[in-house]
Chains A and B, each alone.
Chain A
Amino acid sequence: MRRAVSFLFLLASFANGVKAEALLPTDVKTLLERIREKRAAAPSMQADFQEQRKIHLLDEPINSSGKIWFQAPNKFRVERKGNAPSITVSDGQQLWIYYPNFKSAERYSLAKRSPVDAAISAITTALNLENVEHTFHISGEKSEKGYDLELTPRNPSMKRIFQKLLLHLSNDLFAERTDMLQANGDRIVTTYENADHAPIPPGQFEFTPPPGTEVSTPLGKQ
């Protein structure tokens, strides 16, 4: 009997040890402060990524993979591989999407409540996290493998973009997985691997369409 009790106690202790621990608001604040310090020390990141998109227009999810370069606060470059390759480049002001297979490119202007905000907010929110507490209600848990944060938009303009963003950070406070639930029910899950924080040349966030590329501005005059 004593053995059984001891076993149950050990089991309970073990379970308690592996169970994620909810973060108090003060813990979240401290965590964000630490993240800010990390970003200040290492504002760049490049990594391989895998993405799964479930959109309401399609019956099945779309999987893609590639490489991402990010520079805080909002510059990034995404190169998708596979059957439908594309290069997405943003300097924080404009967003270019280049389709090598179609020899075409789309140009969008950002920061004008553009519909493409949804496409980039997962990247910039997850990889930057600067002042994120002003835009989101944040709750989180600490687990053995890092931190799981749930970000819920505070204001309507952000709510129009997504309902919820789940973010897993490694113990060294860099994003490893994001799960974004959009307002229309679409969902984008992205995982990051082989992260490197070496400085990135500025030219990486600039884009000039190759000669012969057909450039369009789908949302009208930019």
Chain B
Amino acid sequence: MPFSEKVAFFVTERRGLMWSVVVLIVVASLAILIAFLRLDTEVLNLLPRGFDSVEGLKTYNSEFAQTRELTFALLCQSEDVDKLEEFAPRFVERLRAQPWCVRVLAGSPMETPDGVRDLQRIALPLLLNLEPEDFDRAISLLQPQKIQERLAQLRREIESGSPRPEIELTLDPLGLIMPSLKPFAGTAAMETDQPLTSLDSTMRVFPTVTNQPTISAFDCQNLMKQVNAFRATALEGWDGGKIEVLVTGRSAYVAEISLSMRHDIVVTVLSSIALVGAVFFIGFRRWLPLLGMGFSLLLCCLIGLAVGLLIFHRLNMITVGFCAILVGLGVDFAILIYGRYQQSRSEGGGHRVAIADAVHSLGRAVFFGALTTAVGFLALVLSNSSGFIQLGVLIAIGISAAGLLMTTVFFLFVPRGEVPQRSDWILNLVRNYVHSMLVRPRPILAVSLPILMGLLIVAVVPQIPLTFEANARSLEPKNSRAGTALSLIMEKMPVRWEPVLGIVRATTEQELHDFWKAISQHWSDLQRAGKIKSYSTPKALALSPREMQRNRQQLASINFPAARDSLQNALTQNRFSADAFASAFELLNQLQAASAAEFKVPSWRTQLPPTSAWWFLVERYFAQDSLTTTGFVTTNAPVATQEQKNVLARELPVAGIPITLSGWSYTLTDLVPWSHRQLLLISALMAVFDASLLAVLYRDLRLWLVQVITLALAVAAMIASMKLFHLPLNLLNVLAFRLVLAIGVDYGIYVLLVWQRSHEVARDLTGVIKPVALAGLTAIAGFGSLGWAHNPTLSGLGIACAIGLFWSLAATIFFTLPAAVAVRPKLPQEHFELEHA
């Protein structure tokens, strides 16, 4: 018994068995989903693997404290600047009182007594960490005579009215703290580097570290729930005009993205089902087959998700687009099969016979359609992006399942006694078109070809550019509050562009110190040579046990009692207040204690209180693992080109020191060639595969050429449309080209196979063009529904695919067929005779 008849037998005579199998599949899939469902919300996992810059970004994003940092901003009207300044401390006080708030940076730590005191607390380890020559120079200030001279000089300068000695003596009465901070100098000016007040004073920014337990999406959502509750009451007491409380940061983004995933799933699936259902119903005016199609598609989604989960263990956010895409693709098979079934019934065939006929006639087309689409999506495996690899594999599984289910399970929903509709305006329209096209194909080509050629010219001329967005914003959710907040902050405080990160891991403290010492020296040379604008490194905080040991031995040569006496005398002689110099005596005591061999120098980490504002500076450089660190390089101009990136990649590293260069701008610039490769190389590979498959399938050069030209014109029309409608490509929607190739080729296969093999060309072409047109419209609707997704990656992909499929469908109907008729005219009789011969 042929396969088509076996299918017809089981569907009509063994329905119980078929339903049992269906229930088994549903139960197994649901069990897998319930037991293993884990979602990966990390947006960085959408970027390809194998790039150091991407790995660096992931490390910075997950291991450094900025993952738990939120940035609050208050934005007021220009006339309320004074009120904002008055209100800000109350806001900070409320912020600090929140249970989720660990610390808030409300101003430069140097401006507060606590900040100065904290700095004095960590002076000892920082001083002992100086290079030998710097340390020797610094402690030479402890010679009694130098103490006397320095204080006498400062006293004279105070009398002259200089504010400098007061500042210096308040922070550093012995003159030892400033040298210990010297390696820190470029980074200590936090206020200059990262201003907390906008130039027009209408915005105040408050970086805040939270106690979020993990960086998971659910913890981000929980935190943001509390943060939003705080925002609702944070403005009590504000008596000015309109004021906004803005919040941004990783947690804000992740919470939004993960919540938008839910929105995207619901909206895209529902809209996809509604649109597809509407097209199906308009085409066939039947409810039960529509239900069967929906059920089969749902089953395909379940199978795809369950198998995907078993393969990948965790599904990325991008795979939420899977269901909508699968609905758009799988519906093609249902429409084709049902169209043929209906045609067979209308010709008087019984239920079982019509099923066998539909499967027999279109099984081959469905098989090749599923194959090309599955391979097209499987090509995403070459993208190196885990998100897109998952998407590709899931759709390949889903579409294969769809090919099988639409030729089997779908018929369980088609009633035996169904009577075809009497009046079918779509079929009539198609019949008229097919008739005209078979008789006079050239007039149709005379219209379609110039249009497609015109679009081809638009696609290739460089004067009309195709925008390519290679920035982080192109990946943000639409209308993102966190994104808007960040934009407003950047707009108000455009002090500098994003730096390049240099991430360094070491195995020991000494190694870390040596690494950063060499890197700092190298970057300093680059700065002097004008190759970079500035840099900052954790060198001062990366302690060197070797230097510290050596410097402590040097301390043994200091006569501390004499230094203490000299300090006391200098204070008395110059009428300084002894109380104001208590910290100087304290530091002398600490240094004397440190000179003892058995003394254990406390780590600066333990000396800084948890609420100290200096942690904001420290945590810029150190990950939770203190041997993972990062330095920052501000380039002479924002990193925007490959050439800049290549120069940095060549210049910044130091031989023998493993360093990972990263940062959003750097990474995205790094990824542009990858993205272009996606667009060109992999799409080209896909095209070669399709072309080879078509050659095997048709074994006819002219038909093969017609289809290949159709594909080229459809892709060109897609590019032209994106150019004309100013739709930008981004790093991820370039994948749309290969999807369009994979799906578009199916339409050609469906119609050209019928054209090539049919006994009754007019009847069979009419029978296939209607389902192809409906299938194309449903696929466009399925992909177009992704346009409603908040995630720009999904919406961009959906819109690009919808445009591409529109042109594929149009080119198939108005170019492929007339061209095939024009280049290979044949009469049905002729074909019939050939087959018999």
Q: Is the CB of A78 within 8 A of B161?
A: yes
Q: Is the CB of A57 within 8 A of B158?
A: yes
- The answer, yes or no, to whether B580 is at the interface (CB within 8 Å) is yes
Asked whether A56 and B167 contact (CB < 8 A) given A86-B162, A113-B191, A155-B85, the answer is no
Asked whether A88 and B575 contact (CB < 8 A) given A156-B85, A160-B111, the answer is no
Q: Is the CB of B575 within 8 A of A58?
A: yes
Which residue on chain B has the smallest CB distance to residue A57? B580
Q: Which residues of A contact B170 (CB under 8 A)?
A: 57, 184
* Cα–Cα, bound, A157→B81 (Å): 12
Q: Is the CB of A218 within 8 A of B167?
A: yes
Which residue on chain A has the smallest CB distance to residue B188? A220
Within 8 A of B (CB), among A107-166: 108, 113, 115-116, 118-119, 134-135, 154-157, 160
Q: Is the CB of A118 within 8 A of B163?
A: yes
- Interface-central residue, B85, B161, B164, B166, by most chain A CB under 10 Å: B161
The 0/1 profile, CB within 8 Å of B marked 1, for residues 48-89 of chain A is 000000011111101010000000000000101001111010
Which residue on chain B has the smallest CB distance to residue A108? B163
Q: Which residues of B contact A80 (CB under 8 A)?
A: 160-161
- The answer, yes or no, to whether B133 is at the interface (CB within 8 Å) is no
Q: Is the CB of A134 within 8 A of B82?
A: yes
Q: Which residues of B contact A160 (CB under 8 A)?
A: 111
Asked whether A156 and B89 contact (CB < 8 A) given A78-B161, A86-B162, the answer is yes
- The answer, yes or no, to whether B577 is at the interface (CB within 8 Å) is yes
What's the count of A-B pairs with C-beta under 8 Å?
Answer: 81
Q: Which residues of A contact B525 (CB under 8 A)?
A: none
- The answer, yes or no, to whether B156 is at the interface (CB within 8 Å) is yes
- The answer, yes or no, to whether A97 is at the interface (CB within 8 Å) is yes
- The answer, yes or no, to whether A206 is at the interface (CB within 8 Å) is no
Q: Is the CB of B159 within 8 A of A64?
A: yes
Q: Is the CB of B164 within 8 A of A218?
A: yes
Q: Is the CB of B82 within 8 A of A57?
A: no
Q: Is the CB of A84 within 8 A of B156?
A: yes
State the Cβ distance, B774 to closest chain A Cβ, in Å.
68
* Cα–Cα, bound, A101→B160 (Å): 10
Within 8 A of A (CB), among B178-213: 185, 189, 191-192, 197
- The answer, yes or no, to whether B381 is at the interface (CB within 8 Å) is no
Q: Which residues of B contact A184 (CB under 8 A)?
A: 170
Q: Is the CB of A62 within 8 A of B85?
A: no
Q: Is the CB of A56 within 8 A of B577?
A: yes
State the Cβ distance, B458 to closest chain A Cβ, in Å.
52
Q: Which residues of B contact A113 (CB under 8 A)?
A: 111, 191, 197
Q: Is the CB of B111 within 8 A of A57?
A: no
Q: Is the CB of A156 within 8 A of B163?
A: no
Q: Which residues of A contact B185 (CB under 8 A)?
A: 220
Asked whether A57 and B576 contact (CB < 8 A) given A84-B156, A155-B86, the answer is yes
Q: Is the CB of B160 within 8 A of A119?
A: no
Q: Which residues of A contact B245 (CB under 8 A)?
A: none
State the Cβ distance, B590 to closest chain A Cβ, in Å.
22
Residue from the list B155, B160, B167, B191 in contact with A86, Cβ < 8 A? B160
Q: Is the CB of B82 within 8 A of A62?
A: no
- The answer, yes or no, to whether B157 is at the interface (CB within 8 Å) is yes
Which residue on chain B has the smallest CB distance to residue A115? B167
Residue from the list B158, B162, B191 in contact with A58, Cβ < 8 A? B158
Residue from the list A99, A119, A155 in contact with B157, Cβ < 8 A? A99
Q: Which residues of B contact A59 (CB under 8 A)?
A: 575-577
Q: Is the CB of A57 within 8 A of B162?
A: no
Q: Is the CB of B161 within 8 A of A97?
A: yes
- Interface-central residue, A56, A58, A97, by most chain B CB under 10 Å: A58
Q: Is the CB of A156 within 8 A of B577?
A: no
Residue from the list A60, A118, A134 in contact with B575, Cβ < 8 A? A60
State the Cβ distance, B87 to closest chain A Cβ, in Å.
9
Interface residues of B (CB under 8 A from A): 82, 85-86, 88-89, 111, 155-164, 166-170, 185, 189, 191-192, 197, 575-577, 580
Interface residues of A (CB under 8 A from B): 55-60, 62, 64, 78, 80, 83-86, 88, 97, 99, 101-102, 106, 108, 113, 115-116, 118-119, 134-135, 154-157, 160, 184, 218, 220
Q: List 14 A-B contacts (CB under 8 A).
A: A55-B158, A55-B166, A56-B580, A80-B160, A84-B156, A84-B161, A86-B162, A97-B161, A97-B162, A113-B111, A118-B163, A154-B85, A156-B89, A220-B185
18 A-B pairs besides A85-B160, A101-B160, A157-B85 with CB distance below 8 A are: A55-B166, A56-B577, A57-B166, A57-B169, A59-B576, A62-B158, A62-B159, A64-B161, A83-B159, A84-B161, A86-B161, A97-B160, A99-B162, A106-B162, A116-B163, A134-B82, A154-B85, A218-B168
